[in-house]
């Protein structure tokens, strides 16, 4: 990579970082205002709000990265164009293809950043943020609803009231059916703790149902073998889009094995796969903005147009995701279509430059 190409890449990266910081500050302020509505609920105080906002920042960075990539690239290249630096480079024999290579280096860097934030930083940060918020408001880790949540494990249907802060379950009900879908055993336990790949139930009351009637027995402790493990429980505390890819795959396989609906989790999986590519496509679109029909426009005009395109991509992406779930479109197609559409648009505009 030549000195000029490194200069172009560093200019775009610095502009992208600046745009990302501005957008992050704006969204963080709005999140803070929103959280103030719950101030005083339970033990939810300003300290808890500050912790929640801080731990939610990786989520915001991940969401804002494609728009920041487009605006930062347009701003960086536009700044070079307004100062006639791109003209001087072209006069020195630097082609649009070589400039585009510099842009692609930036796109690659942003893809790596998106993968790192989305798979390494965001999942534990978002889980910690939601645990802090739920503990301060209710004293327990949040569950799927105020009535607890259900899971299926083969012919067993399990209901769990609460997830306690140390990972234990509270208020467990296990309904065991036979092959003819008749309820045969109902097990209720006060608590469950995961140890050596099994759940240890405490204060257990088990009712066995057969043709002779119902037999009830109580024990202090019992083992509960289930495919459900603490790692999968994160799906209850954290929405699927905030989980790492490997966590989603594990839970998708679990749902498949138990014949449960997996469409929204598959959609979340493919959205995570496409997210880094979306950031790269947004950077790629910046080149036609500067050398195409908007080359004579002011930097402000380019930024406005870039904002409209970025917002349009975000809305198209989110809308098609929900449309795909409603109408049963293949998850990979729903996730990939917006990114592929804008990539084709960028390729078409680049071809027109030649």
**Structure-token pair, residue 271:** 């959205």
* Cα–Cα distance for residue pair 160/139, rounded to 1 Å: 16
**Structure-token pair, residue 135:** 């503990």
pLDDT at 55: 93
pLDDT at 51: 93
* Torsion, CA 11, CA 14, CA 17, CA 22, rounded to 10: -100
pTM: 0.71
Write out the chain's pLDDT in tens, 354 residues.
678 878 888 998 999 999 999 999 999 999 999 999 888 887 889 999 999 999 999 999 998 998 888 888 888 887 887 787 877 887 877 777 788 788 888 888 888 998 999 888 988 898 888 878 877 876 665 554 456 778 777 788 888 887 776 667 888 899 999 888 888 899 999 999 888 888 899 999 999 988 888 899 999 989 888 777 776 665 555 677 777 787 788 778 877 776 777 788 888 888 888 888 888 888 888 777 776 654 555 666 766 776 777 778 878 887 887 888 788 888 888 888 888 988 888 888 777 765
DSSP states of 74-104:
HHHHHHHHHTTHHHHHHHTT--HHHHHHHHH
* Cα–Cα distance for residue pair 271/322, rounded to 1 Å: 12
DSSP states of 25-64:
HHHHHHHHHHHGGGTTSTT--HHHHHHHHHHHHHHHHHHH
* Cα–Cα distance for residue pair 320/348, rounded to 1 Å: 22
How is the chain split into domains, by residue range? 3-139+263-353, 155-226
* Torsion, CA 191, CA 230, CA 259, CA 178, rounded to 10: -30
Phi, psi of 314 (to 5 degrees): -60, -45
């Amino acid at each position: 990579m030549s000195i000029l190409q490194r200069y172009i890449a560093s200019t775009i990266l610095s502009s992208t970082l600046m745009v990302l910081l501005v957008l992050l500050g704006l969204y963080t302020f709005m999140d803070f205002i929103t959280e103030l509505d719950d101030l005083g609920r339970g033990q939810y105080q300003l300290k808890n709000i500050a912790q929640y906002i801080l731990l939610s920042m990786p989520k915001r960075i991940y969401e804002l990265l494609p728009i920041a990539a487009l605006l930062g690239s347009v701003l960086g290249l536009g700044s070079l164009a307004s100062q006639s630096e791109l003209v001087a480079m072209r006069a020195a024999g630097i082609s649009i293809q070589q400039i585009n290579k510099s842009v692609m280096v930036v796109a690659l860097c942003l893809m790596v950043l998106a993968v790192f934030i989305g798979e390494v930083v965001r999942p534990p940060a978002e889980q910690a943020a939601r645990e802090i918020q739920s503990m301060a408001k209710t004293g327990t880790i949040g569950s799927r609803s105020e009535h607890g949540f259900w899971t299926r494990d083969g012919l067993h249907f399990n209901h769990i009231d609460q997830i306690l802060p140390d990972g234990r379950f509270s208020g467990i009900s296990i309904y065991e059916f036979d092959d003819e879908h008749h309820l045969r055993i109902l097990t209720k336990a006060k608590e469950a703790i995961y140890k050596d790949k099994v759940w240890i139930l405490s204060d257990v009351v088990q009712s066995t149902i057969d043709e002779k009637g119902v037999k009830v027995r109580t024990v202090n402790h019992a083992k509960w073998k289930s495919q459900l493990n603490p790692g999968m429980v994160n799906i209850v505390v954290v929405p699927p889009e905030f989980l790492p890819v490997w966590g989603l795959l594990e839970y998708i396989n679990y749902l498949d094995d138990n014949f449960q609906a997996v469409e929204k989790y598959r959609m979340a999986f493919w959205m995570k796969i496409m997210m880094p590519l979306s950031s790269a496509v947004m950077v790629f679109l910046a080149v036609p903005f500067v050398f195409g029909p908007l080359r004579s426009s002011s930097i402000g005009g380019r930024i406005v147009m870039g904002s409209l395109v970025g917002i349009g991509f975000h809305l198209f992406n989110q809308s098609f995701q929900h449309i795909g779930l409603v109408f049963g479109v293949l998850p990979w197609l729903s996730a990939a279509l917006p990114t592929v559409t804008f990539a084709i648009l960028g390729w078409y505009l680049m071809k027109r430059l030649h």
